[in-house]
Amino acid sequence: MDNPRSDRVRSVAALSKRSVRARTGRFAVEGPQGVREAVRHAPASVRDVYLTAEAMARYAADIVEPARAARLWVHEVTPEVLAAMAETDAPQGVLAVVEAAAPTLEDVLAGGPRILVLLTHVRDPGNAGTVIRGADAAGADAVLVSEASVDVFSPKVVRSTAGSLFHLPVVTGLDVDATLARLRGAGVRTYAADGSGTTLLPDADLSGPHCWVMGNEAWGLDDAVRDTCDEVVRVPIHGLAESLNLAMAATVCLYASAAHR
Amino acid sequence: MDNPRSDRVRSVAALSKRSVRARTGRFAVEGPQGVREAVRHAPASVRDVYLTAEAMARYAADIVEPARAARLWVHEVTPEVLAAMAETDAPQGVLAVVEAAAPTLEDVLAGGPRILVLLTHVRDPGNAGTVIRGADAAGADAVLVSEASVDVFSPKVVRSTAGSLFHLPVVTGLDVDATLARLRGAGVRTYAADGSGTTLLPDADLSGPHCWVMGNEAWGLDDAVRDTCDEVVRVPIHGLAESLNLAMAATVCLYASAAHR
């Protein structure tokens, strides 16, 4: 493909818009790391893989061969076409169009999860992506995302997950109150991660199934949400910092959970 | 001040350039959080504080009064002047010009540090700032930064430290080899944080003085640096993620250190 103004190119580029992603149920994965992980761990959701000639050669073993083995559509495109499709500056010659997996909270609960994290109001794409990556690394069973949070299928979030979006279920569009109630009903304790907590993280009982509940980057958790959680847990601050940023706090909490596993 | 093209405004705006910061020994702090922490914790280094009329009112108790009590220069400027001075989009009407503190490694060692972190090759401003914030929160004694790393006095790093730049010593411009040798000479164990490590983080002996040695975001630690460290420690990865990002790995390591303190 060599025409950056073709309908196909336009339709891929349009996936940078949330409304188009919502309508089509598809999103774009930009860059070799994300595409490789999608091809490896979610091949059934991958619609098309686009690479420049240079990237075809560079990622032959990593992406092209596994994609062809999984009978995926692999297309060679010019650098101009790839640039026209991509939102980010540096897709490094690789982009895939993927169907958004749509696991539900019930799917997750059916698996008997031990460690979960719920993002109630995360707005920064980098934070959301980093939490998904940290949850994956810490061995969490799923990430739950409220309807008020950033769209996890936006290019910046996808990129900052570094492929983890394809490693564990990410449930989106959740109502926070209903989710907290359902988690409790399923025997999953809900722990609000909040600087106002009276329980320090090292003292929290992380032996049973539990879900970390994270608030907004700037203003933290809504009071009502915090009050609904079973416990409010604080990451200890030893120096003069007011707080950790959201992704750091989530990662530290999830690693504390992992240590108890 | 109401002329966005005045010499004063130009000289503040020029601090967005690394060469100008190096020549003048000054940098700009943008936004209320950073300026408040500079005024609180490093008033002797603050040269000038600039606020719009609106910010003067909003941050009267937080910034203006403590700044005046410390006999700092506080200037009211128009929104146009503030925008012309600032590099970031949203300084929220507040900016300060601050002299860069220049603590040395010897200053830090004289304090008998227990927990340190050395950034050998960090290039992303957000990562560097987040590590400084995480080090502060975990109660580290100082952050050491090599000459090959991003300039910690750049606006994006300053902003992402969320004020922590003024909470603990940040030593810059270090030669990595000489620093590792000096740390060892001072009885500080050096722990390379690296995915190739054979010691898992929960098994690392963090009881004595030690320094976490962090590599580059993309390619990790140089082999020679890793081999020079006393031990190579790996943050356990429980899921399918390849790694944590640099700032998350540093924060998890530093919190493990804090737990042993």
Using CA atoms of A122, A124, A130, A136 in order, give the dihedral in degrees to the nearest 10: 30
Cα distance from B172 to chain A (closest Cα, Å)? Answer: 20
Using CA of residue A52, residue A56, residue A57, residue A58, what is the dihedral sign? positive
Q: Which residues are A193's β-sheet partners?
A: A233
DSSP A189-253: EEEEE-TT-SEEGGGS--SS-EEEEE-BTTTBS-HHHHHHSSEEEE----SS-S---HHHHHHHH
Chain A touched by B219 (CB under 8 Å): no
- Predicted local confidence at residue A2, as pLDDT: 85
The C-alpha atoms of residue A209 and residue A62 are separated, in whole angstroms, by 36
Chain A touched by B254 (CB under 8 Å): no
The C-alpha atoms of residue B128 and residue B139 are separated, in whole angstroms, by 17
Pairing verdict, β B46-51 and B94-99: antiparallel
**Residue numbers of chain B with a pLDDT score lower than 50:** none
pLDDT tens digits, one per residue of A239-254: 999 999 999 999 999 9
Phi, psi for B149 (deg, rounded to 5): -90, 170
The C-alpha atoms of residue A33 and residue A37 are separated, in whole angstroms, by 6
Q: Which of B167, B235, B241 is facing A164, going by the closest CB pair?
A: B241
Sketch out chain A's domains with CATH numbers: 7-99 (3.30.1330.30), 105-260 (3.40.1280.10)
Between A212 and B87, where is the model more confident?
Answer: A212
Take residue B231 and report the two structure tokens written for it.
Answer: 């031990």
Say what the ipTM of the complex is. 0.92
Phi, psi for A143 (deg, rounded to 5): -115, 130
First to last CA, chain B: 50
The C-alpha atoms of residue A256 and residue A258 are separated, in whole angstroms, by 5
Give the pLDDT band (50/70/90) at residue A192.
Answer: very high
Which of A242, A243, A253 is the best mutation test for B, with the most CBs of B within 10 A? Answer: A242
> Residues A210-229: what's their mean pLDDT?
95
- Predicted local confidence at residue B261, as pLDDT: 75
**Residue of chain B whose Cα is closest to the Cα of A237:** B137
pLDDT tens digits, one per residue of A64-120: 999 999 999 999 999 999 999 999 877 899 999 999 999 999 999 999 999 999 999
pLDDT exceeds cutoff 80 at A261: no
Helix (H) / strand (E) element for A114: namely: none
Does the model's pTM come out above 0.90? yes
> Residues A201-220: what's their mean pLDDT?
95
Give the pLDDT band (50/70/90) at residue A1.
Answer: confident
Cα distance from A258 to chain B (closest Cα, Å)? Answer: 8
